[in-house]
Chains A and B, each alone.
Chain A
Amino acid sequence: MKDLIKQGLRLGLVFGVVIIFLILFGLTTTLSDILGDFVNLDSNTRTGNSSGLMIIFAILSLWAGSRASAADRSKWKSALVSGAAASLVIGLFVAAFILLVGFLDSKEIAMRDYLAQLDHLSIQFLLFGRSLIPGVLMTFGIFFFFGILGALLAYWFEAKNAGEVIQKQVFILKEKVLDSKLVTQYKENPISKWIGYGILGIVVFLMPQFLGKYWNYAMGTVGIYVLMGLGLNIVVGLAGLLDLGYVAFFAIGAYTAGLLTAPAPIALQIGFWPVLILSVVFAAFAGIILGIPVLRMRGDYLAIVTLGFGEIIRVLIRSDMMSPYLGGPQGIRDIAGPSFFGLSINTEKAYLYLIILAILLTIVFTNSLQNSRVGRAWMAMREDETVAQAMGINTFYYKLMAFATGAAFAGLGGALFAARNQYTGPADHTLMVSINVLCLLIVGGMGSIPGVIIGAFVLKGLPEILRELELYRLLVFGALLVIMMIIRPEGIWPAPRRRMELHEKELEILPTDDSLVGKEG
């Protein structure tokens, strides 16, 4: 009994603190606004109708209650006790917090200067538009009631074996679908693969026609990230070299394209196509130049050096010293676009086609590279460098090759990016770009091409859909990276080999010596 209460209290504490932080981030109000829009509750911060917020609070406390009851669900009493303890703590915590905030607000102390999300309107919203005491009591009530309800529901599910029943049903359904005639036929038919590709191709080909200007632009950005992701995939995913300064090559590509085609600061104004090739070549060359000294290092040192290199490039391109040659903080304007057999490419749609074409070429290229002798050498190096060396692989040469190939794709992406925007400046080449590309690799699944595409959509496409959450995009990224590393380090759609590698330990019966401490020197 004591243990149950203790566990409930601890869980309640965690949930309470997390909920208070959610309120401080303003996520509760934003989410309830989205929910209000979604189910047409007419509930948002402007109208002051906070039924959406109530639902969010209720869901949170249901979750907390069911989690708390996980301690012992064999008897309804024990589920009730731990659930009640947890929901009591959560209710007290959140209610006390709202009481404090509401009190300060009623004294007309402007907390907004210090805590940006707590303006008068959202505090009123948190109090459900009521005055201080009833609002706080209501908050407490919601958390307490729904927390206990959650615990009891969890007990009930457990008692009815509902979880297992549902799982079984889903499993049976899955088997049925997989074994059905249509699917088996499809699976066994050698042409079906090509039919699938064909359908995908048609969808991709027609997509730009049906999307509006804005979406074409957004998808173009996603496409450029896919391109860069495919490039970084070679460096990080295949060769296992963590490169945090990937943006440097992107910048080199963009600035090559910009400087050689724009009228200022250097009026060369060469046509787009030769410049595209030049920017790829320059970026690859920069990759080799950086790679020669740097690639002797391993692991995290390499990461930091490349990160430093990226920062050097960024500081250089925005410095006053280089501004006569590179345009300084203003960047380069009027970058020329390409023309295709007399057809000038200047709309978002045309650029999207161009980017899709580039992606297709890249996919074909990386795919064949991956399955070639070179790709196998990279993977061998990633698994164990010493063994790879012993097998006669010139690791330095192959590392350099991976670095240069990855850089070349970044250069391509940069050139396309600069041409599409007709502008490039230091603000386009921050560290965040490197981190975004790395994130999409990790989220999608390292070393896998479909993973890269999914990752780019999740990281660059989803935020376009959820525009209200723009403020929280990076916040969620950061949390996502940590959670991903803990729960599913191999990504959404991993390469099979990498999944095996990361779950190696689960297959072993005895824990190895390394499992306690990691690698020792």
Chain B
Amino acid sequence: MSETKPKKSTGRINSFTIIQAIISVLFLAFLSWRLYNVINSGVYGPDTWVRFALSGLIIGSVYALIAIGYTLVYGILFMINFAHGEIMMIGAFSGYFVFEALKSVPVAATGLSFLDSYQIISVVLAFIVGMFMAALSGYFLERIAYRPLRGAPRLIPLISAIGASIFLQNAAQVMFGPKRRTYYNPMSLSRSQGWRIPIGGEEVILTYTGVLTFVLSIFLLIALYTLVMRTRYGRSMRAVAENKQTAALMGIDVDRIISNTFIISGALGGAAGVMWGIHNGIIYHYVGFIPGLKAFTAAVLGGIGNIPGAMVGGIFLGIVESLGPAVLGIDFQLKDVIAFSILVLVLIFRPSGIMGEVLSEEKV
């Protein structure tokens, strides 16, 4: 979150930088060769490329929303909130229960259920409940699992976070059962419907759910950015991120800021969960884990602790993940491998991320 300008490192050229340069050149050459081959061979028409790019953008915006949660917490506490994916899962389940409850309420005037009669209200309600529940869990997560460990060696809160993650996953499994559930969307948000765009003689469907997801997450991201950068409250958040003791001396309630950070990141995660449910349709107790990991990758990619970085990183990761298998000509099953390989490569070659500051050794 800190705004220090990235410093140019003026170190000696060592073998590591040379290897780094050679590998990146080779990799880029390989990539362009593959891309040339794939485009030339015509396996995928232009419509398919657009389809990939669109799905990448949409999923990337969800990653960005989750990544913000990691970045906010890391910026303030220098810890990876490993259970953040589970917070998203809680949001997804809350939205699901709201839809199920509204589905079972009949409205006499229209002869349909509440969900289909008042669609906008239902969706808004699902988002509000999902965000509220996720924020609540975020708050209690911090109170129970992290606050007692403040000041402990850095491994300890991380392990506690892993524990919380396992606990929440399995609590959901035990409570709701292990089966996969399908989100029952309101009528006009059906997952197969959308605007049809003709591209290269084929039709590409831009689904309503996808548009909702993308627009809403961009809106939330802008709102958050404004909150952090433009308001008095955001200034105190940044102050705490910069230096807790000095912030405390300036009359800022550090504990409250930290609690609220967890609430905010929880709410964003919850919104991401509801979006995930509405757009992808299937949720289960494990649903938050992989997106959480990917969002963390996105946060690292953009430079952890950096809010615009997390947004860019999320969308970048989404696009790479959906275009990557096609470009490299490998199975779509392996898209997770691409995401994690990117994580590994970024951490090795540029640990400060695309837009990140140069972190001091202590922080890294």
Contacts and interface: CB of A to CB of B under 8 A. Distances in A.
Nearest to B248: A516
A9 B331 CA distance: 58
Contacts, number: 183
Interface stretch (A109-117, A255-263, A402-410): A109-117
A319 B334 contact: yes
A194 to B, nearest CB: 37
Contact of B244 (A297, A304, A489, A516): A516
Candidate in B154, B159, B330 with the most chain A CB atoms within 10 angstroms: B159
A482 to B, nearest CB: 4
B291 to A, nearest CB: 13
Interface of B: 77-80, 97, 100, 144-145, 148-160, 162-171, 174-178, 243-245, 248, 254, 293, 296-297, 300, 330-331, 333-334, 336-337, 340-341, 343-344, 347-348, 351, 359-364
B343 A304 contact: yes
Given A308-B343, A311-B293, A520-B362, A478 B168 contact: yes
A514 B362 CA distance: 13
A315 B300 CA distance: 21
Given A293-B348, A308-B344, A115 B175 contact: yes
A297 B150 contact: no
A242 B162 CA distance: 12
A76 interface: no
Contacts of A320: 331, 333
Contacts of A484: 163
Given A478-B166, A482-B160, A312 B340 contact: yes
Across the A-B interface, give the 9 residue pairs with the lowest CB-CB distance, nearest first. A481-B163, A478-B167, A116-B177, A478-B166, A308-B340, A521-B363, A517-B244, A475-B170, A485-B160
A465 interface: no
Contacts of B333: 315, 319-321
A514 B364 CA distance: 17
Given A115-B176, A481-B163, A307 B293 contact: yes
Nearest to A17: B140
Given A115-B176, A319-B333, A513-B245, A304 B361 contact: no
Contacts of B80: 300, 303-304
Given A308-B297, A486-B148, A489-B156, A298 B166 contact: no
A482 B148 CA distance: 10
Contacts of B176: 114-116
A519 B344 CA distance: 25
Given A304-B80, A442-B159, A518 B152 contact: yes
A320 to B, nearest CB: 6
B349 to A, nearest CB: 9
B163 A478 contact: yes
Candidate in B77, B157, B170, B361 with the most chain A CB atoms within 10 angstroms: B170
